[in-house]
Amino acid sequence: MLRIPRMNRRVRLVAACAATTAVLGPLIWLWQASLLPDAYSVTDMGYADYGGGPVAGSMTHVGHGAHRMAGHGVGSLTADPRRPADVAVTLTARRQRFPLPSGRVVDGYTLNGQSPGPVIRATAGQLVQVRLVNESVSEGVTLHWHGVDVPNAADGVAGVTQDAVGIGREFTYRFVADQAGTFWYHSHQVSHKQVSGGLLGALVVTPPARPAGVVDVVALVHLYRGARTVNGREGDIRVEAPPGGRARVRVIDTENGPMSVWVAGAPFRLVAVDGTDLNGPSPVQNTAVLVTAGGRADVEVTMPADGSPVRVHLGGSAAVVLGSRSYDVPAVPRPKATLDLLSYGTTAPLGFDPQRPDRRFRYDIGRRPGFLDGRPGIWWTVNGHLFPHVPMFIVAEGDVVRMRIANHSGAVHPMHLHGHHAVVLSRNGMPATGSPWWVDSLNVGNGESYEIAFVADNPGIWMDHCHDLPHATQGLVTHLMYEGITTPFAVGGTADNEPE
């Protein structure tokens, strides 16, 4: 029998313990450092990034009480409280099982008994007032007005601009819909679950002088349990459009990934992106449009004079079929070519000079192993940091801001900045030469980089996150914060705010 001398055994034991501590110690420390408190303000998160701009004397980021007292709360950033509403809607949220017209049953959410919720329509310049009532959603709800540059108090982000609305409670949103275009609304409480479960709807703002004789079609595309739907139904929807007339199809991609749109039976023009009309869009054919997750694309078709129908393919399995005498137009495969918005349409003034920015930020998306709130995994990083140790982009009102978004994370990220529209200046170093391309949702593919610019003209605390909503739960979330703005709301806490 082999006997290990006692001394030797002890040495080995000590050595083993030391080795274990050397490996486990830092891991335990990393694990512990990643744990999020039960309640925290997003303004205390991460580190301040001033983008090379002035660090104003009053700007003392990261949990300094003095700063908090000195600032304006997000609650004061509202539409004129004395102005009466032009459009008033009540939306009642319910947790509900409901059938799609195909019979497929969805265990999800409804607004006024339907999903998607009702289309809200307004004329540009009108004040929209939406009263959200929670009847039966136990985790609470909010409504975010995706792509509308609302006052911050109406942005609908649980834990940042309000508390999640619990059962039996209500919240009223008020904003002036000053930009004509296609938008949508959705919950921003546990959004990865509530949005996919159908707590969403379309918002269409039309110009005061509406072009006469244009058939206006909303096409909100959503996946319910993996089934692609248009306005809540699977397959095709038929819309009457007279021969020779024009039709505008407002495509809204509410899914977590990009969606292709292409047209068979007539050429088309892409007339608007993310609620902003393009300048001088020319007719195209045999070309697909890539709609960013969360983004919108308004496609205009002139119907053939002979009365033949037109199929607008939405991701392949769903379509809007425009017709009159017949709706018989077969599906065709996606064209190989994709419309490049960098060079589509003609240039026009931007209204500001992006060549002289006050601040420059970078938003570098990567991926690495680590802990997220104590969970080990391979998580998204922003500028090398894991959530919540990510940058807080700090601006002053009136700043011209440039941001370089680069993605080397191995996946596509549809990046969405709340409260602002940004213009694309270049992609992978190639300058934009077409119509001004204003976005609120930008599809950033792996290996791509975009240079964008915007004017900081809407004070508040604004999320700037990935709209592949599960990615947001995996830490791809930052905020843009105006100096001196504070929030009394917290993520977590008694309202269980969980914006992602």
Cα separation values, 239 from 247, 269, 311, 324, 490, Å: 9, 18, 10, 8, 46
**CB neighbours (10 Å) of residue 219?**
25
C-beta closer to ligand C2O: residue 174 or 467: 467
Residue 32: partners with Cβ closer than 8 Å, 6 or more residues away = none
- Judged by beta carbon distances under 5 to 8 A according to partner kind, the member of ligand C2O, Cu ion, none in contact with residue 188 is ligand C2O
Measured from the CB atom, the residue of 358 and 500 that comes closer to ligand C2O is 500
Residue 465 interacts with, from ligand C2O, Cu ion, none (CB under 5-8 Å by kind):
ligand C2O
Site for Cu ion contains 413 (CB under 5 A): yes
Residue closer to ligand C2O, measured from CB, 299 or 463: 463
Contacts of 292 (CB under 8 A, 6+ apart): 253, 258, 274, 414, 439, 441, 442, 443, 467
**CA separation for the pair 192, 80 (Å, rounded):** 32
Give the nearer residue to ligand C2O in terms of CB position, either 263 or 403.
Answer: 403
Interface residues toward ligand C2O, by CB under 6 A: 144, 146, 186, 188, 294, 416, 418, 463, 465, 467
What is the secondary structure of 144-167 as a DSSP string? Answer: EEET----GGGS--BTTTB--B-T
Phi, psi of 72 (to 5 degrees): -95, 135
Q: Looking only at residues 453 through 492 of this chain, which bind Cu ion when binding is defined by CB under 5 A?
A: 466, 468, 471
CA distance 299 to 276: 12
| Beta carbon nearer to Cu ion, 363 or 454 | 363
**Residue 18 backbone dihedrals phi, psi, to 5 degrees:** -65, -45
| Residue 289 contacts which entry, ligand C2O, Cu ion, none (Cβ below 5-8 A, type-dependent) | none
In whole angstroms, the minimum distance from the beta carbon of 66 to ligand C2O comes to: 30
The b/e string for 24-43 (b: 16+ C-beta within 10 A; e otherwise) is eeeeeeebeebeeeeebbbb
Looking up tokens 């409260």 gives 419
Q: Residue 413's binding partner, choosing from Cu ion, ligand C2O, none, with beta-carbon cut-off 5 to 8 A by kind?
A: Cu ion
Alpha carbons 420 and 145: distance in angstroms, whole number: 12
Q: Among residues 147 and 391, whose Cβ is nearest to ligand C2O? A: 147
**Nearer CB in complex with ligand C2O: 483/500:** 500
- The nearest distance, CB 466 to ligand C2O, in angstroms, is 9
Name which of Cu ion, ligand C2O, none residue 146 binds, using a CB cut-off of 5 to 8 Å depending on partner kind.
ligand C2O
Residue of 245, 120, 136, 142 whose CA lies nearest to 187: 142
Residue nearest to ligand C2O (CB): 146
Please choose which of Cu ion, ligand C2O, none residue 186 contacts, taking the beta carbon within 5 to 8 angstroms, the exact cut-off set by kind. Answer: ligand C2O
CB of 201 to ligand C2O, least distance (A): 12
As measured in angstroms, the least distance from the Cβ of 394 to Cu ion is 23
